[in-house]
Amino acid sequence: MDEGLLEQTANQLVAPGKGILAADESNGTMSKRLAAVGVEPSAETRRSYRANLLSTDDYQSAVSGVILFDETIRQDMDDGSSIVESLNAIGIHPGIKVDTGAKELANHPGEKITEGLDGLRERCSEYFAMGARFAKWRAVIRIGEGMPSKACISTNAHALARYSAICQEQGLVPIIEPEVLMDGDHDAQRCYDVTAEILDATFAACTEQGVHIPGALLKPNMVMAGLDCSNQATREEVAKLTVDCLTNHVPHDLPGIVFLSGGQSDEDATAHLNLMNKMDVNHPWQLSYSYGRALQAHALKTWAQGGPESAAESQEMFAHRAKMNSLARSGDWSPDLEA
Ligand code: 13P
């Protein structure tokens, strides 16, 4: 394992003022998102949308890495250069989603186990040769009656740790993503407890597998009530509960935490991150973003209208969200900047 390379990449990914663009929606997910805005899904429409997004002027001032899907890492920009080359040319690390999806967990209706360990070493080796320097694996944890089960926690923690060890062996910084879903009517305290449980299990498994923590990143949910809960936490409460949970359940030698947005509104995702970075607390890790929907939702909707004007407007929307989240890295965002 090249610890020096892994630590350097991990630290570059969470450099001040920068975060990650998650553009690694699987073909199935991306096709659904395109269809939802009235665009016929195909390899070409998925390419064309992303090529436009990645042609935005100067977004590298707010973005250190872009997570790609297997189809995308093999595709080209409109000018014929490869997407990987175009990212490298502006100092952005290409990343790659390497799990093969969350599948039904046997004997546990409603719960999922993320698959993709078979052949992972060979795939990571190929992606590194193609220019990828980091990877992502997403585990999905649902809260409900009797959920999450011990089986769901332990199998997903084990898979995250094995994935991380293989990535590091192949030179890729693993983004460890145990996502506790926002679906459900649970309160924020229940989310706190489940988040703590999956974080403890994941880092215990990482220790067992010999994962080099200074060469890894964590991509967690924020601690908040379920979407159907009548007692929603305030933004300040979410920020405080999240930092408290992470401080008690994440190793302090991890370089950075890059949150997912998970269905939060664009502005909530920015405001929560801003409040955490504004706190009068000396966090041991960088607190950053790896947002998918919270960076892209409006950009996609606008691009879908078609034509060069919409394409340019879509880039402006993405640039604006990237800028807002970049400011949130230092607690310098405020709601009036959204006008
Ligand atoms: P969201 O920010 O839309 O949750 O996506 C982040 C991600 O990469 C989920 O795996």
Pocket test for ligand 1, best of 261, 272, 288 (most atoms within 8 A of CB): 261
The answer to whether position 47 is within a domain reads: yes
How confident is the model at residue 281, as a pLDDT? 85
Tell me the CA–centroid distance for residue 29 and ligand 1, in Å.
11
The answer to whether position 24 is within a domain reads: yes
Tell me the CA–centroid distance for residue 268 and ligand 1, in Å.
14
The answer to whether position 339 is within a domain reads: no
How confident is the model at residue 178, as a pLDDT? 98
Q: Is 219 in the pocket of ligand 1 (CB under 6 A)?
A: no
DSSP 8-state class, residue 259: E
Count of domains observed in the chain? 1
* Residue 223, helix vs strand vs coil: coil
Mean of per-residue pLDDT scores for the chain: 97
Q: How far is CA 320 from the centre of its chain?
A: 19
Full residue range of the structural domain in which residue 8 is found: 3-333
Q: Residue written as tokens 């790659």?
A: 96
Tell me the CA–centroid distance for residue 263 and ligand 1, in Å.
8
The answer to whether position 14 is within a domain reads: yes
The answer to whether position 116 is within a domain reads: yes
The answer to whether position 338 is within a domain reads: no
Nearest to 135 by CA among 269, 59, 275, 24: 24
Q: Which residues contact 28 (CB under 8 A, 6 or more apart)?
A: none
- Please answer whether residues 110 and 142 qualify as being in contact, where contact means their C-beta atoms are separated by less than 8 angstroms: yes
CATH number, domain of 137, equals 3.20.20.70
pLDDT of 339 > 90? The answer is no
The answer to whether position 249 is within a domain reads: yes
How confident is the model at residue 136, as a pLDDT? 98
In ligand 1, the atom with minimum distance to the C-alpha of 138 is 10
pLDDT digits (tens, 9 = 90+) for 97-154: 999 999 999 999 999 999 999 999 999 999 999 999 999 999 999 999 999 999 999 9
The answer to whether position 167 is within a domain reads: yes
71 is catalytic: no
DSSP 8-state class, residue 222: P
218 backbone φψ class: left, alpha, beta (φ>0; ψ -120 to 50) = beta
pLDDT digits (tens, 9 = 90+) for 272-306: 999 999 998 889 999 999 999 999 999 999 999 99
Q: Which two tokens stand for residue 67?
A: 């997570």
